């Protein structure tokens, strides 16, 4: 039922779905976003159907949160797959063997999608593809144009921080180097009092895990640094006692050294990670302990940066003396963690870390006429930036369901060549998946007012004539043609994930035999 509700939203000519208001004094909502529609459906009257519907609702919302797109595609594939598999089960196929076939087909489909993905190597084409993809996914032209620019500049790994704007417009700011939301430890070191900012250049870097709490040790550490030839120092410390603060200010006023003490970012484990990243970026070694460790500082403990700045809220470094091998190893490790984790907050934090390590951060300020509109535009900005970064990172496939249709034909042709028999339930599972992969293209045609079976027949014939092209259906012009030549593309990763989630959902659904109900289940407004 949920799939039926979201299918009309698929394609460039979607239809609206009306959702009745929660109370009679509210008008019905007209929505064209699959995930929002799914979010509005909080219960189905039939308790057994409700279990499946809530699984679908959860999967739709996860697609929306992790990829920012592909929810309707996923629901369409999942529904078609369940229907195909249910027919097969009714005809006597074993659900477990069907599941095995679906999983084998999923692996081959993923591989084919990955192999067929392309990334434009020249800037103009890359920008064009990104703009086309953004246009198909977002109707807010101002927001879209800013995000295409930001993602085009930062690439797949840059950190994009979406915040509210005081003005109504959308604006962006690029931050050079790496930045942490951690303040200076005292205002006494501001170099530009009017702008409340402290800046130093060609500075030594000291990373102290604990509190710098002794004036004697602070001065001893500074003396050693002076002896090593440093005349400017950035001290990242857990905290600073009043006594040590006074000693540092006194040293600064003497004019012998420029000093900038900032608070080590985060707490506990997050602080350890932040200090480790700082160490990689600056070549410093983290000093564990308190001010005694600072007093014993050795030349190999000291890192360096070209420039550093701090305000009452943040500090940043630009151009650190980085260890090339350690930096690349840290970046690879963060990328691996992003791929492995499912927690969205953790992914957001890891992306920020990746942005710092790669030296890229953009702040996108989103405004709106009302608070509600601003909030909705901010959510849209987060969703769109995620989707565009995925596309830049993993590439594109032919859009409008064409890539999936082509993979389906290839799967069916492989199955025919291997001579699968009607009673081979595993092969039948793979065949069910192949049929389901044709569903998005047919749904797009149906939503645009065309006969889906006729369109599918035309695309099949075109693919038979030229198997290397990516034929699909351009719903706007009503013609079958090469989607890549027409500039109609989808993000490869979004489509691959949609297939995987749909396959997993359908496989679970067909192998679920019994449902246990709670007497009074609580309603969940959030999926």
Partner 1 sequence: MNWKHFDEPAAIFALAPQPGGACLAATEQGLWQFDPRGGGWQPIAPQLAHVPLTAVAACGPTWLIGSNGDIAFSRDGGQNWQLANLPVKARVLGLVVSPQFERDGVALAATAEDGVLRSADHGVTWHAWNYGLLDLGINAIAVSPDFGEDATCFAASDHAVFMSVNGGRAWQELPAPMAAGPFTSLAVAMTRRGPTLYVGAEGSGLWASAAPYEAWQQIKGLRAGEVNFVLPGWAATTAGVYVAAGRRWRVALRRPDVVCMALLDDGALVAGTAGGGVWYGAAD
Write out the residues near partner 1 by the rule CB under 8 A.
119-127, 152-155, 157-158, 176-177, 201, 306-307, 318-319, 322, 324, 327-328, 331, 358-360
CA atoms 418, 423, 429, 432: torsion sign: positive
Q: Which of residues 270 and 333 has its CB atom nearest to partner 1 in the complex?
A: 333
Question: From the CB of 81, what's the least distance to partner 1, in Å?
Answer: 35
Query: Three-class SS of residue 464?
Result: helix
| Residue spans of alpha helices (H) in 170-295 | 215-227, 242-253, 268-282, 291-295
> Kind and range of the H or E element at 306?
strand 303-310
C-alpha–C-alpha distance, residues 412 and 395, integer Å: 25
Residue nearer to partner 1 on the CB measure, 322 or 377: 322
User: Are the C-beta atoms of residues 269 and 248 closer than 8 Å to each other?
Assistant: no
Q: Which is nearer to partner 1, 339 or 513 (CB)?
A: 339
Report the nearest approach of partner 1 to the CB of residue 119 (Å). 7
User: If we measure between CA atoms, which residue out of 426, 395, 381, 430 comes closest to residue 410?
Assistant: 430
Only one residue has tokens 């699959």, namely: 34
- 383 is written with which tokens? 């969703």
CB of 355 to partner 1, least distance (A): 9
CB of 412 to partner 1, least distance (A): 31
- For partner 1, which is the closer residue by CB, 175 or 185? 175
Give the number of other Cβ atoms within 10 Å of residue 335's Cβ. 16
**Of the candidates 192, 178, 212, which has an alpha carbon nearest to the alpha carbon of residue 314?**
178
CB of 162 to partner 1, least distance (A): 18
For the chain, the distance separating the N- and C-terminal CA atoms, rounded to the nearest angstrom, is 16
Closer CB to partner 1, 155 or 467, in the complex: 155
Rg of the chain over Cα atoms, rounded to whole angstroms, equals 28
Bridge-based pairing state of the strands 170-176 and 360-366: antiparallel
In a 3-state reduction of DSSP, which class is residue 212?
A: strand
Q: State how far the Cα of 302 lies from the Cα of 240, in Å rounded to an integer.
A: 19
Residue 77 CB contacts under 8 Å (≥ 6 apart), including other chains: 404, 436, 437, 439, 440, 498, 499, 502, 503, 506
- The nearest distance, CB 290 to partner 1, in angstroms, is 33
CA distance 54 to 517: 13
Q: Minimal distance in Å, beta carbon 344 to partner 1?
A: 24
- Residue 69, both tokens: 């797109």
Distance in Å, CB of 324 to partner 1, minimum: 4
Residues in the chain: 527
- For residue 119, the Cα-to-chain-centroid distance in whole angstroms is 18
**Residue 283 C-beta: closest distance to partner 1, Å:** 12
**Other CB atoms closer than 10 Å to residue 217's CB: what's the count?**
20
Shortest Å distance, C-beta 301 to partner 1: 21
Q: Which is nearer to partner 1, 12 or 152 (CB)?
A: 152
CB closer to partner 1, 125 vs 517: 125
User: What is the C-alpha to C-alpha distance for residues 505 and 172, in angstroms, rounded to an integer?
Assistant: 39
- Return the number of the residue (74 or 162) whose C-beta is nearest partner 1: 162
User: What's the closest the beta carbon of residue 325 comes to partner 1, in angstroms?
Assistant: 8
Closer residue to partner 1 (CB): 157 or 213: 157
Q: Where are the alpha helices (DSSP H) in 395-424?
A: 402-417
**Could you tell me the smallest distance in angstroms from the CB atom of residue 310 to partner 1?**
17
Contact status, residue 68 vs residue 493, Cβ threshold 8 Å: no
> Smaller CB distance to partner 1: residue 37 or 234?
234
Structural tokens at position 421:
């028999």
Long-range contacts made by residues 252-255, C-beta under 8 angstroms, separation at least 24?
252/188, 252/189
Selection from 191, 190, 185 nearest residue 243 by Cα: 185
The residue (of 95 and 360) whose beta carbon lies closer to partner 1 is 360
Residue (359 or 440) nearer to partner 1, CB: 359
């Amino acid at each position: 039922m949920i799939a039926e509700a979201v299918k009309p939203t698929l394609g460039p000519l979607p239809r609206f779905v009306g959702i009745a208001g929660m109370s009679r004094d509210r008008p019905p909502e007209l929505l064209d976003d699959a995930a929002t529609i799914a979010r509005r459906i909080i219960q189905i009257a039939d308790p057994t159907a409700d279990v499946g519907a809530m699984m679908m609702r959860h999967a739709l919302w996860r697609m929306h949160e992790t990829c920012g797109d592909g929810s309707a595609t996923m629901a369409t594939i999942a529904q078609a797959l369940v229907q195909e598999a249910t027919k097969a089960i009714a005809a006597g196929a074993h659900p477990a063997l069907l599941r095995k076939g679906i999983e084998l087909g999923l692996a081959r489909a993923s591989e084919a999608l990955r192999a067929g993905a392309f990334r434009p190597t020249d800037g103009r084409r890359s920008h064009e593809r990104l703009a086309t993809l953004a246009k198909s996914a977002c109707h807010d032209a101002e927001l879209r144009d800013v995000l295409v620019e930001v993602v085009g500049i930062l690439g797949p790994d840059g950190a994009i921080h979406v915040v509210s704007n005081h003005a109504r417009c959308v604006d962006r700011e690029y931050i050079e180097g790496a930045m942490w939301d951690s303040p200076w430890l005292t205002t006494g070191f501001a170099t530009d009092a009017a702008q409340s900012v402290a800046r130093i250049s060609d500075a030594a870097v000291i990373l102290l895990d604990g509190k710098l709490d002794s004036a004697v040790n602070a001065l001893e550490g500074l003396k050693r640094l002076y002896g090593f030839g440093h005349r400017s120092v950035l001290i990242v410390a857990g905290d600073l006692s009043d006594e040590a603060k006074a000693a540092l200010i006194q040293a600064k006023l003497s004019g012998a050294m420029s000093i900038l003490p900032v608070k080590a970012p985060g707490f506990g484990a997050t602080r350890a990670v932040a200090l480790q990243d700082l160490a990689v970026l600056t070549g410093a070694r983290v000093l564990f302990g308190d001010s005694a460790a600072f007093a014993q500082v050795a030349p190999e403990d000291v890192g360096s940066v070209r420039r550093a700045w701090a305000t009452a809220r943040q500090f940043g470094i630009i151009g650190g003396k980085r260890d090339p091998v350690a930096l690349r190893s840290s970046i690879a490790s963060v990328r691996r963690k992003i791929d492995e984790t499912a927690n969205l907050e953790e992914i957001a934090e890891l992306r920020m870390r990746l942005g710092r390590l790669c030296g890229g951060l953009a702040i996108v300020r989103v405004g709106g006429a009302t608070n509600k509109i601003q909030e909705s535009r901010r959510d849209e900005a987060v969703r769109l930036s995620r989707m565009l970064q995925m596309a830049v990172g993993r590439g594109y496939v032919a859009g409008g369901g064409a890539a999936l249709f082509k993979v389906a034909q290839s799967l069916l042709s492989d199955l025919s060549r291997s001579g699968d028999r009607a009673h081979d339930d595993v092969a039948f599972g793979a065949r069910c998946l192949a049929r389901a992969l044709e569903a998005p293209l047919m749904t797009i045609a149906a939503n645009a007012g065309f006969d889906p079976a006729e369109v599918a027949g035309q695309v099949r014939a075109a693919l038979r004539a030229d198997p290397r092209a990516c034929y699909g259906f351009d719903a706007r012009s009503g013609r079958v043609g090469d989607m890549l030549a027409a500039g109609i593309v989808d993000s490869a990763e979004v489509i691959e994930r949609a297939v995987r989630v749909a396959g997993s959902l359908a496989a679970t659904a067909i192998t679920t035999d019994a449902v246990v109900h709670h007497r009074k289940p609580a309603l969940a407004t959030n999926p």
